[in-house]
Amino acid sequence: MTERPRLSAEEALVFLRVMERFDSPEFERAWRVFCNLAASCPDYQSFQVNCPPHSDELAEVERVLRTYDVAGVLVKQGGLNRESLFEVAPSASEVWSKAEPWVTGMRNENSRAHQSLEWLAGQYDAWLLMQIG
């Protein structure tokens, strides 16, 4: 196994700030709502019924999706080390697989909705393949 370069102090600080979002009570609550909805809303139509505009449920789902969007933007721009994120954060690929039908529907109104989450999920899948092989 090859040794990775150490994170700089700045990279470590960014990583810790991002992880604060994942480790917050607000994210934990949002994650529970997200997972419950993923189990009961397999498509955009059922999602809309359970998460109408301005609802608490929609706000919780958006908190999860935006957390991954922020991480994705930071990784894309080189501000966050992807390996460090992928080693400890819940799987971006799992989030994307649950949210994809909803986001596809959201994109009828906003074609750019959660593109960074989708990109990050692809990066996670590629990283995981490298770890296995």
Q: Mind listing the pLDDT tens digit for each residue in 36-66?
A: 999 999 999 999 999 999 999 999 999 999 9
For the chain (133 residues), the mean pLDDT of every run of 10, in chain order, is 74 93 97 98 97 97 98 95 92 97 96 97 95 83
- Where on the phi/psi map is residue 2: left (φ > 0), alpha (ψ -120 to 50), or beta? beta
**Average pLDDT along the chain:** 94
**Residue 124 corresponds to which amino acid?**
Y
CA–CA distance, 7 with 17 (Å, rounded to integer): 14
Domain spans of the chain?
A: 9-132
The pTM assigned to this predicted structure is 0.92
